[in-house]
Amino acid sequence: MKRLLPYIAVAFFASVPLWLQDQYFLHTLVVTGIFVIAAMSLNLLLGYTGQLSLGHVAFFGIGAYVSALTSLGFSVEIFGLQITHEPWPAVIGVLFGTIVAGLCGYVIGKLAFRVRGAYFVIVTISFAEVVRLVSLNWVELTNGPLALPGIPPLTLGFEWTGYATLWGKAQNYYVVLATIVLAYILIKRLVNSPYGRAMIALRENETLAVSVGISVTKYLVLAAVLSGAMAGVAGGLYAHYIQIIDPMIFMFLNTVTMVIMVITGGKGTLAGPLVGGLIFGIAPVVLRSYVGPEVQWILYGLLMILIVFVLPQGIVPAIERWFTRKGGSASASKPAGLVLESSKGARS
Partner 1 sequence: MDQLFQHLVNALIMGGTYALLGIGLTLIFGIMRIVNFTHGELYALGAYMMYFFATVLGLNFFVAIAFAIVAGMAMGSVIEFTLLRPKRGADIDTTMLLMIGAWIVMQNAEHLIWGGIAKSIPSPLPEAPLVIGPVSISWLRVMVLVVSVVLIAATYFLINRTKLGKAMRATFQDGGTAALMGVNVNAIYTTTFALGSGLGAAAGALLGPVFVVTPTMGDLASLKAFAIVILGGLGNITGAAIGGFMLAVAEEIGAGYISSGYRDAMGFLIIIIVLLFKPTGLFARSERIG
Partner 2 sequence: MTVAATGAPRPILAIEHVAVHFGGLIAISDMNFVVNEGELVSLIGPNGAGKTTAFNVITGFLKPTKGQVTFKGQSLNGLKPHEVTSLGLVRTFQRTSVFEKISVFDNVLIGLHRRTSASLFGTIFGLPRERRQEKALREEAWEILRLVGIEHQADELGGSLPYGDQRLLGVALALAANPSALLLDEPVSGMNASETGRFVALLNKLRANGKTILLVEHDMPMVMGISDRIVVLNYGRIIANGTPKEIQNDPDVIQAYLGQGVKHA
Nearer to partner 2, 169 or 321 (CB): 321
Tell me the three state secondary structure of residue 245: strand
**Residue 287 in the binding site for partner 1 (CB under 8 A):** no
**Residue 195 in the binding site for partner 2 (CB under 8 A):** yes
Residue of 10, 76, 121, 216 that binds partner 2 (CB under 8 A): 216
Distances (CA, A) of 150 to 93, 190, 201: 14, 37, 46
- What angle is formed at CA 241 by the lines to CA 237 and CA 242, rounded to 5 degrees? 120
Distances (CA, A) of 29 to 81, 176, 262, 263, 280: 43, 9, 17, 20, 11
The one segment of 97-105, 185-193, 249-257, 274-282 that binds partner 1 by CB under 8 A: 249-257
* Measured distance CA(24)–CA(249) in Å, rounded: 21
H/E segment holding residue 239: helix 216-242
* Measured distance CA(185)–CA(203) in Å, rounded: 22
* Measured distance CA(225)–CA(110) in Å, rounded: 10
**Residue 198 in the binding site for partner 2 (CB under 8 A):** yes
315 and 265 Cβ atoms separated by less than 8 Å: yes
Site string for partner 1, 40-69 (x = CB under 8 A): ----------x-x-----------------
**Residue 211 in the binding site for partner 2 (CB under 8 A):** yes
Q: How far is CA 55 from the centre of its chain?
A: 12
**Residue 91 in the binding site for partner 1 (CB under 8 A):** no
**Residue 123 in the binding site for partner 2 (CB under 8 A):** no
**Residue 249 in the binding site for partner 1 (CB under 8 A):** no
| Interacting residues of 44 by C-beta distance below 8 A, sequence separation 6+ | 187, 190, 223, 226, 227, 230
Residue of 213, 289, 290, 309 that binds partner 2 (CB under 8 A): 213
Binding site for partner 2 (CB under 8 A): 186, 189-190, 192-195, 197-198, 200-201, 204-205, 207-216, 222, 331, 333-335, 338-340, 342-343, 345-348
Binding site for partner 1 (CB under 8 A): 50, 52, 111-112, 114-115, 117-119, 121-123, 125-127, 129-130, 133-134, 136-137, 252-253, 256, 259, 263, 292-295, 297-298, 300-305, 308-309, 312
